[in-house]
Chains A and B, each alone.
Chain A
Amino acid sequence: MRALVRWHLFWPCLTLALLIALNAVVNPGFLAFEWRDGHLYGNLVDILNRAAPLALVATGMTLVIAARGLDISVGAVVAISAAVAAVMIGGSLSLGDAEAVSRFPMWLAILAALAIALACGLWNGALVVGVGMQPIIATLILMVAGRGVAQLVTGGQIITIYYPPYAYLGNGFLAGLPFAAVLAAAVIALTQLLLSRTPLGLYVRAIGINPVAARIAGIRAKPITLALYGFCGLLAGVAGLIVSSNVRSADANNAGQLLELDAILAVTLGGTALTGGRFSLVGTALGALIIQTLTTTIYSLGVPPEVNLVFKAALIFIVMLLQSPEFRAGIVRLARQPGA
């Protein structure tokens, strides 16, 4: 029992379980699963599907934070990637069974969007590593400018994507599960493998704990950090594709809005230290699921829209308290004190 409580993912798991339990109590149908049109259908499936973009962005963010960095431009990169893909695929409305066409082949549009997202990440990395800017300032530039770039690409319009195959990314199902969720899980698993089976994970930790010592120990800190920013940008690009595919349109103003904050929150909820060094990708994925479950909770409880944000803030406050060892120790002390 004690070992279980000490397990680093115990608290995120407990939080997620409690949130789902709260939903199940208020709305008995919440946990229900159904097999509909060849795939699973239910609230939990929605949560998996909706949490996928956030989980991807937060995965990149985890690694950047683990190496003592920060990337607040991910929301803007999501918008850019969505905009590029939407503009390149485009298409026009066809009623009936007329054949849908895309302006460029879909694979080219996806590759272009991802390449631009990767370039955005590398740009951030170059500013941090090459120019020596503080990460928050370096990525603030792209956070502000990026949305402008996305608006430029879309001409300030919401671009509707009429090309049906593109919708698969954000709406499709693989083996009954949402494709976006499967993709996110695969990316997280591969990244985890790469970090644990090669020295890379150790290097990232070393850079996060002490960059100077890491460099003196012979770790090539600069190229690794640059690559981490690039990876973070790339994953934000994938998230952008999923988001735009889900609603079959790209909205430069609203796509990925404030996603960077949700991503940082997911990273924190998962037990990664914002000071660098200690990180957990699985924890981050759990964090993303917690955040999406919170949002779904608000909808399914029927919270009035005026108090949405207050409700969310209060829940997050409770969650963060639960995760604080100092707070828990204080509670235990209080409980043991007088009378006992």
Chain B
Amino acid sequence: MTGLKHWLLAAGVVLFAACSGGADGTKSDAGAAKPIVLGFSQIGAESEWRTANTVSIQGAARDAGITLRFSDAQQKQENQIKALRSFIAQRVDVIAFSPVVETGWETVLREAKTAKIPVILTDRAVEVSDESLYVSFIGSDFVEEGRRAGRWLTEYYSTGKGKDFKGDINIVELQGTVGSAPANDRKAGFAEIIAADPRYKVIRSQTGDFTRAKGKEVMEAFLKAEGRKINVLYAHNDDMAIGAIQAIEEAGIKPGTEIIIISIDGVKGAFEAMMAGKLNVSVECSPLLGPQLMSTVKDVVAGKQIPKRIVTEESVFPMETAAQEFPKRKY
């Protein structure tokens, strides 16, 4: 045991010497401050969207001259808490992370605060009793995305192609991972808009875990239970919609015409589905927040005042614009 301790200590000393050596090097040649070290804990690589998010952050860090310590949590909160603790132990300048779920972050964020390391949330928010535990939250407004999805649908049935449709509009919903911020907020935003008209009825709602496989499996069960009663599918992300489209086609129903499909994110796969006429609309949720994150990190280190909420710029892509937009998509 002591042998192991000594070995670890020795390794630590070597590592420390190597790090400070590097820092000295930059100090001597430019006279500038040593590069900012940013510890970033990513949720995982669950979708094309997340990969684009990772690439954007890595690229922006390189461009901004910020040293990035990147950690992949593989969808597990415990991994993420471990990563944050190791960033604290390494005394990085700033910590940023996309929390995999909303709750359970109090303790580790307090540890970061005690160590005087500012924390920036990206893409997903957390629920904490004390807002000063993080300096800023950069990301999309998921409630607004849900509202946009709802608005597109109400427009479709009031002034769009569906204006002659009579009777109740039966909606099935594929929710994201239970307890995650995008799932909670996208559900709430959508529900808020359709509540205005009693014709809109969510007849089934179940989680598809944001994955294609679960989206397909759950949609199969929905189709068996409700059959042709279903008018609209609202999926909390594109991947679940892509899986569900397969299930709908296998049931002999035409996705995009017989069942109107709305999803969120705007990944390439969704554009492909829209160009094939199988997906009606994808509400964008941009993952390209690397540059915004890096400029915020610099401002934090420089001691500037930071807004508590920074919203990424996003739009809505209906089927008709897909072919035109597709070549421009980065994710």
Nearest CB of chain B from residue A190's CB, rounded to whole Å: 27
Most buried by B among A29, A298, A302: A302
Mark B171-184 against chain A: 1 for CB-CB distance below 8 A, else 0: 00001001100000
- Cβ-defined contact, B212 with A253, below 8 A: no
- Cβ-defined contact, B239 with A302, below 8 A: no
Chain A residues with CB under 8 Å of B227's CB are 29
- Cβ of B44 < 8 Å from any Cβ of A? yes
Q: How far is the CA of A42 from the CA of B252 in the complex (A)?
A: 12
Chain A residues with CB under 8 Å of B51's CB are 156-157
Q: How far is the CA of A166 from the CA of B230 in the complex (A)?
A: 29
- Cβ of A3 < 8 Å from any Cβ of B? no
- Cβ-defined contact, A253 with B221, below 8 A: no
For the complex, count residues of B whose C-beta is within 8 A of A.
Answer: 39
Q: Which of B40-60 contact A (CB under 8 A)?
A: 44-48, 51, 54
- Cβ of A300 < 8 Å from any Cβ of B? yes
Chain B residues with CB under 8 Å of A253's CB are 44-46, 74-75
Nearest-neighbor residue (CB-CB) of B224 within chain A: A43
- With contacts A158-B239, A253-B46 taken as known, whether A302 is within 8 angstroms of B204 at the C-beta atoms is yes
Nearest-neighbor residue (CB-CB) of A296 within chain B: B221
- Cβ-defined contact, B269 with A160, below 8 A: yes
- Cβ of A97 < 8 Å from any Cβ of B? no
- Cβ-defined contact, A299 with B75, below 8 A: no
Nearest-neighbor residue (CB-CB) of B275 within chain A: A95
Chain B residues with CB under 8 Å of A251's CB are 46, 211-213
- Cβ of B77 < 8 Å from any Cβ of A? no
Interface 9-residue window, one of A54-62, A229-237, A240-248: A240-248
Nearest CB of chain A from residue B151's CB, rounded to whole Å: 25
- Cβ of A50 < 8 Å from any Cβ of B? yes
- From B178, B211, B221, B246, contact of A254 by CB (8 A): B211
Q: Which of B226-255 contact A (CB under 8 A)?
A: 227, 239, 243, 246, 250-252
- Cβ-defined contact, B221 with A305, below 8 A: no
Nearest-neighbor residue (CB-CB) of A43 within chain B: B224
Chain B residues with CB under 8 Å of A210's CB are none
- Cβ of B64 < 8 Å from any Cβ of A? no
- Cβ of A249 < 8 Å from any Cβ of B? yes
For the complex, count residues of A whose C-beta is within 8 A of B.
Answer: 40
Chain B residues with CB under 8 Å of A160's CB are 269
Mark A4-25 against chain B: 1 for CB-CB distance below 8 A, else 0: 0000000000000000000000
Q: How far is the CA of A248 from the CA of B269 in the complex (A)?
A: 12
- Cβ of B185 < 8 Å from any Cβ of A? no
- From B204, B212, B250, contact of A249 by CB (8 A): B212
Nearest-neighbor residue (CB-CB) of A303 within chain B: B206
Q: How far is the CA of A248 from the CA of B227 in the complex (A)?
A: 24
- Cβ-defined contact, B212 with A46, below 8 A: no
Q: Which of A295-313 contact B (CB under 8 A)?
A: 295-296, 298-300, 302-306, 308
Nearest CB of chain B from residue A135's CB, rounded to whole Å: 24
- Cβ of B272 < 8 Å from any Cβ of A? yes
- Cβ-defined contact, B272 with A29, below 8 A: no
Nearest CB of chain B from residue A207's CB, rounded to whole Å: 36
Q: How far is the CA of A29 from the CA of B224 in the complex (A)?
A: 8
Nearest CB of chain A from residue B293's CB, rounded to whole Å: 20
- Cβ of B218 < 8 Å from any Cβ of A? yes
- Cβ-defined contact, A27 with B246, below 8 A: no
- Cβ of A36 < 8 Å from any Cβ of B? yes
Chain A residues with CB under 8 Å of B205's CB are 304-305
- Cβ-defined contact, B221 with A300, below 8 A: yes
Q: How far is the CA of A58 from the CA of B205 in the complex (A)?
A: 31
Mark B155-195 against chain A: 1 for CB-CB distance below 8 A, else 0: 00000000000000000000100110000000000000000
- Cβ-defined contact, B246 with A247, below 8 A: yes
Nearest-neighbor residue (CB-CB) of B45 within chain A: A156
Q: How far is the CA of A251 from the CA of B240 in the complex (A)?
A: 13
Nearest-neighbor residue (CB-CB) of B225 within chain A: A300
- From B45, B178, B211, B239, contact of A306 by CB (8 A): B178
Chain B residues with CB under 8 Å of A296's CB are 221
- Cβ of B265 < 8 Å from any Cβ of A? no
Chain B residues with CB under 8 Å of A300's CB are 221, 224-225
Known: A36-B252, A158-B212, A253-B46. 10 other contacts (CB 8 A): A43-B224, A158-B48, A243-B213, A247-B216, A254-B46, A254-B213, A299-B217, A302-B225, A305-B206, A305-B207
Point out residues on B near A: beta carbons under 8 Å.
44-48, 51, 54, 74-75, 175, 178-179, 204-207, 209, 211-213, 216-218, 220-222, 224-225, 227, 239, 243, 246, 250-252, 269, 272, 275-276
